Amino acid sequence: TKDCHQLFILTHNFSFFRQVKNWFHHMKGQGKKKLEQRPARFYSLHTTLTDGFRNAAITRIDPLLEEYESEYHFLFRQVYEVANDTTPETELSQFYGMPNIARRLIETFLAYRFPDSSGDLIKRFDRVEFDAAKKTRILRLLNTYSHSGGITEPEHDPSVLAETRDVMKAILELIQSVDDKHYSGMVNLLTPAGEDSL
């Protein structure tokens, strides 16, 4: 691909994305302030719901994904934005991806917070001093909807998914209660991102 005129690389894999990003960030001219003068540009493909129909939009990538080595920053933003969104919940489908995102965020946070605790999420949760009812609510959403092939199984109660926004708020409260300085530092990074559609 060295001598090609234009190259598109598409991936869902964050590790591969990070490799590609590092490859392009070492190219001559990639540090230019004007985006259109850089040899490489990064975008995200987002699913949107309009009048009940799924659509796709290509937007500039979230700066947290491009500027930081860790996926954790991006996951934190996703949870933070859903928790603080005040628009009406019109479709439960807008929350289908959030349990996976939230689980990855909380697993990463607790793994760093309790590095000596091996095992699953529940064992790490047991070490967190936090409101027991909220912990149960968080685990209920994550265990019901994350790492799942669908939402049609009998145990999947749509009312659980309807609690997504409140559970995202509880996750942020948990992170803040465990490590307030970390939480404040993460919130300070969440400057509005320019996500102009193409």
pLDDT tens-place string over residues 106-118: 999 998 888 887 7
Whether the pLDDT of residue 197 is over 80: the answer is: no
For 80-93, what is the mean pLDDT?
78
The reply to whether the predicted model has a pTM over 0.75 is no
What span, in angstroms and rounded, lies between the C-alpha atoms of 21 and 12? Answer: 13
* pLDDT for the residue 147: 54
Whether the pLDDT of residue 194 is over 90: the answer is: no
pLDDT tier for residue 175 given thresholds of 50, 70 and 90: very high
Percent of the chain with pLDDT over 70: 81
What span, in angstroms and rounded, lies between the C-alpha atoms of 17 and 57? Answer: 19
